[in-house]
Amino acid sequence: MIPYSLRLSRWLLLGCCLFVSELLQAQNAPQKLRFEYGDIRLGTGVTQPRLSWQLANTHPGVRQTAYQILVASSPEKLAQNEADLWDSGKVKTSQSVYVDYQGKSLESRQRYFWKVQTWDEKGTASGWSSADWWEMGLLDKKEWKADWIGMAGIIGEPPRSTQARKDFSVKNNLVKARIYATGLGDYVLKINNQKVGDQLLAPGWTDYLKKVYYQTYDVTSLLKSGENQLDAFLGNGWWSGGLGWGGGFHRYSQGPLRLLCQLELTYADGSTEVIASNKDWKIRLSPVIYDAMYHGEHYDARLEAKGTDADGWVTPVVLNDAKNQTTLFGPNKDPNVGEKADIFDMKKMEVVAQEAPPIRVTETKKAVTVTEPKPGHFVFDFGQNMAGIVHLSIPKATYSQEVVLHFAELLHEDGTVAQENLRSAKSTDRYICKSNGEAEEWEPMFLYHGFRYVEVVGFPGKPTVENVVAKVIHTDFQPIGEFSASEEILNKIYSNAKWTLKSNALSIPTDCPQRDERLGWMGDAQIFVASSCYLMDINSFWAKYARDIADSQHPSGYVYDVNPKMVVGGPSKPAWGDATLIVPWTTYEFFGDKRILEKNYESMKAWVEYMNTHTSTKKAGIYYFSDPDEKWFGYGDWVPVVASPGKPIGGAYQIYSNTLLAKAAHVLGKTKEAETYAALAKQYTTKYNELYFKDNNYEGKTQAANLMPLSFGIVPEKLKPVIAKNVADDVKAHQDHLTTGFIASQQILPRLTDYGYNDLAYKVATQKTYPSWGYMAENGATTMWELWNSDKERPEGMNSRNHFAYGSVIEWYFRYLAGVEPIEPGFKTFRIAPKPPKGLNRVNFSYQSLYGPIVSNWERKDGKLILNVTIPPNTVADLELPLQAGQSASLEGKKLKKGVSKLQPGSYQILIQ
């Protein structure tokens, strides 16, 4: 018999071993579990969701050979491995991204708990990941018990903001509370005076004639047992605030503003209660006395509803100041001020669960300087152009005092803000104080501004940097790419481009954030989609925008220049309309999201078919756009230094779009269509060359004229060096400067590098004299200018300082300087092929792919080039080295053979000498 003490220590040893092996397993367990796009897991409407994860195990060469997913209805069941909703079983595959859920059909409101384990290339199991969850929204229209409510008669250009309220009681033992809500235009909810959620400008911008998103909020912690109060503030946003130049004449509606809101309470005993917007809700005009996206928000704090008495809706103070003319709640109530909400019939409106992350505050900024160029006019300089709002804090208010905030990108010579380039946008917020001597705080609810400077007038006392704080806002995607180089001008341009992306992603990709425009211009979107995918985890943003395009598409197949459709008529112009193909295809390449192609294939095809069947060039039968007088052929290479003919750009993009459609058809298994569109692309290519190619040059002979066919595979193989030389010669003839506009500027550096002019590309990239990216940066730009010469152009015209298009230069930094690009969609296999130009000593690039971090860092040292790379688990990289004649490369002491080397997961150092 074994003595007790020995038995005990054996058990302890066994226990320890088990513990250690579990710990090791846990360390190797998959991580970064991701539901769909990784940004919305509460209140999703996706009924066939996809699950992704990353392998934590980083031993060299690690690959996944199988996975098993468990999905359960409670965390307890999941912990017991009781997968009552789905057990995938052991599935032999390396797929770890966008794996389809195949369990029981999903039900409204239910929360799903899941975990995953994987097996590596040696067949070793990883152990289970920690649990993650997602929760469904309302999947059936019938589950909406709420009515659309508003205040009948309150219409206008824009209509006045309103405020709805519901008092209700909550019983003891509340375990769960959800709000499902949306509005037309924007809405802000408060429970017991605390803001619900952290989103801004909800419900976001969609084609409101068709569809609006609803949001889901977990409000359990905001409620208390007993009496509670829910307030809804309704403002214009994009729906009725006025859009388009000339003051914003275009709007989806003139009001009244509307709300759809359903609060659902679940108690410990399983009983539920629903508090839904209906005619019993109270409604009145809100303290926001004016709000229009371009012009500003005006808030009269004296009009705030007071009191929480049984009525909870005390008529605001009687005002007698004629000056501000805000006496809407005087002793004689405005006849329009109803006590009870009115109901609106909105049966045709599609109410869809939100599909992309909301707009949020992503950063706050204090002014770097505050000046007083005129007595009482304080100018705050935030040092950075941006899109956002400001938070105003007044330490000691004066009753009825109006504080005015003027927003601008620029200053006049006298130091006051210059709003001329905002055109008709007034960009001015106003706040009227409600107290005497008390501290007051305010920020707008229904708009944003594009600004670097704010001029504050009427502030009681002298404001400090604490009193006017800038909040940067944009659609809340996470950064995934980071770049830096030894040449400062590249870092400055990179920063400018990144800030411009952040400033122009507010529910949709906009052209600019400041003037009377801020629209979803498609040319701008397609030019920046690839750069944005290198920088941000932005898959869902583009998936949503692809739907916006399709939602507004004309029945004949054409799309519009601006989406959601607004202001500009169709059909879309070349390079603008083609965002229909370029946005989904590029997003698919970067994230491997096949569904973006599935969902949008018909829309992509319809636009291509429109072009293919509306061929204007009688002689050759390829597409160009024209006005009825045959004088204007679209936007062409928009705002270039040297204009290029517009007609060929139509054919070039038609060919490119046919090519992309063929590729998409191939991915989706539509083999016949893939062949058809590939053949059409070929046929149009022949026609293009017949029409536009002459004397070894393309019509117009500009850089753009040669770049577009070179980029879209139109140039016959043997002529490619000739055409590339045309571009290079022209660049040299302009003393190493580009002459391109929005469209061709994306192509110039990549093509120069592709065809042996990398050092010339680098000269153009770091050029500091006009026209160049460096010129902007050297002349005070903190975001990309709309024009190469924005500093010299007239101030009052089309001259934004925050337009993304020229920001597309950074795509070359990632694809060529760092040399990283996807081969298989989503970086399952990818290329590392850095192209170090003469004069640049160091580049650092890291990218958080869906498989894990990719790194490509290189540095010149002691005559050697040292390259450090990281290949994430479950991927393979093709390494292509920049070997000069007579050079050789070694990886950890072993000589590498010439050509492409396959690199398995791991981190490596390569020496080139």
Interacting residue with ligand BGC among 358, 388, 523, 571 (CB under 6 A)? 523
Nearer of residues 797 and 899 to ligand BGC, judged by Cβ = 797
**How many angstroms separate the CA atoms of 682 and 720, rounded?**
16
Query: In whole angstroms, how close is the CB of 742 to ligand BGC at the nearest point?
Result: 7
Q: Looking at 36, 120, 135, 511, which residue binds ligand BGC (CB under 6 A)? A: 511
578 binds ligand BGC (CB under 6 A): no
Residue among 381, 409, 419 at smallest CA distance from 803: 409
CB of 864 to ligand BGC, least distance (A): 45
Q: Binder to ligand BGC among 517, 589, 811, 821 (CB under 6 A)?
A: 517
Q: Amino acid identity of 311?
A: D
Residues 19-38 that bind ligand BGC (CB under 6 A): none
**Site membership for ligand BGC, residue 638 (CB under 6 A):** yes
Contact in structure between 728 and 749 (CB atoms under 8 Å): no
| Complex with ligand BGC: residue 147 or 524, whichever CB lies closer | 524
First-to-last alpha carbon distance for the chain, in angstroms, is: 70
Nearer to ligand BGC, 204 or 741 (CB): 741
HSE-CB for 828 with a 13 A CA cutoff = 15
Count of chain residues binding ligand BGC (CB under 6 A): 10
Do the beta carbons of residue 508 and residue 520 sit within 8 Å? yes
Binding piece for ligand BGC, criterion CB under 6 A, among 246-254, 314-322, 369-377, 521-529: 521-529
- Among residues 165 and 573, whose Cβ is nearest to ligand BGC? 573
Of 125 and 798, CB closest to ligand BGC: 798
Residue 81 Cβ vs ligand BGC, minimum distance, rounded to whole Å:
54
Q: Output the smallest distance, CB 148 to ligand BGC, in A.
A: 34
Contacting range for ligand BGC; rule: CB under 6 A; set: 179-187, 468-476, 511-519, 744-752? 511-519
Rounded to the nearest 10°, the torsion over CA 743, 749, 752, 757 is 160
Burial of 19 (C-beta count, 10 Å sphere; 0-12/13-18/19+): exposed
Segment 800 to 819, residues that bind ligand BGC, using CB under 6 A: 803
Q: Which of 147, 524, 578, 730 binds ligand BGC (CB under 6 A)?
A: 524
Residue with smaller CB distance to ligand BGC, 317 or 798:
798
- Cα–Cα distance for residue pair 576/662, rounded to 1 Å: 20
Please report, as residue ranges, which positions from 160 to 179 form the binding site for ligand BGC (by CB under 6 A): none
Q: Is 635 in the site for ligand BGC (CB under 6 A)?
A: yes
d(Cα 877, Cα 871) in Å, to the nearest integer?
7
Contact 439, 395 (CB under 8 A): yes
Could you say whether residue 633 binds ligand BGC (CB under 6 A)? no
Shortest approach of ligand BGC to residue 540 CB, angstroms? 24
Stretch that binds ligand BGC, among 24-32, 111-119, 297-305, 519-527 (CB under 6 A): 519-527
Q: How many other β-carbons are positioned within 10 Å of the β-carbon of residue 778?
A: 15
Q: Got the DSSP string for 19-84?
A: HHHHHHHHHHS-EEEEETTSS--EEE--SS-EEEEE----STT--EEEEEEEEESSHHHHHTT--S
Residues in contact with 424: Cβ distance below 8 Å, sequence separation at least 6, in sequence order: 245, 246, 247, 248, 294, 516
Strands 829-832 and 876-880: parallel
Using rule CB under 6 A, residue 640 touches ligand BGC: no
* CA torsion, ordered 819, 822, 823, 825, to nearest 10 deg: 180
> Looking at the DSSP assignment, which residues form a beta bridge with residue 117?
68
- Using CB positions, name the residue nearest to ligand BGC: 511
Biggest CA pair distance of the chain: 106
755 touches ligand BGC by CB under 6 A: no
The stretch near ligand BGC (CB under 6 A) out of 106-114, 515-523, 770-778, 833-841 is 515-523
Quick check: 798 binds ligand BGC (CB under 6 A)?
yes
Q: Are 574 and 649 in contact (CB under 8 A)?
A: yes
Stretch that binds ligand BGC, among 122-130, 168-176, 516-524, 660-668 (CB under 6 A): 516-524
User: Annotated active-site positions, please?
Assistant: 517, 786
DSSP 816-868: III-EEESSGGGSEEEE---PPTT--EEEEEEEETTEEEEEEEEEETTEEEEE
Residue 877: closest CA among 835, 834, 830: 830
Which range, of 461-469, 475-483, 517-525, 640-648, touches ligand BGC by CB under 6 A? 517-525
Q: Rounded to the nearest whole angstrom, what is the least distance from the CB of residue 264 to ligand BGC in the complex?
A: 43
To ligand BGC, the closest distance from the beta carbon of 786 in angstroms equals: 6
3-state helix, strand, coil in the chain (%, to 5): 25, 30, 45
Q: Which is nearer to ligand BGC, 22 or 796 (CB)?
A: 796
Q: Does 521 bind ligand BGC (CB under 6 A)?
A: yes
Does position 483 bind ligand BGC by CB under 6 A? Answer: no
Q: How far apart are CA 420 and CA 661, in angstroms?
A: 43
Q: Which of residues 397-456 bind ligand BGC (CB under 6 A)?
A: none
Site stretch for ligand BGC (CB under 6 A), options 62-70, 518-526, 726-734, 769-777: 518-526
Closer by beta carbon to ligand BGC, 525 or else 910: 525
**Peptide bond just before 203 cis, omega within 30 deg:** yes
Counting every residue written for the chain, the total comes to: 913
- Contact residues: ligand BGC, CB under 6 A: 511-512, 517, 521, 523-524, 635, 638, 798, 803
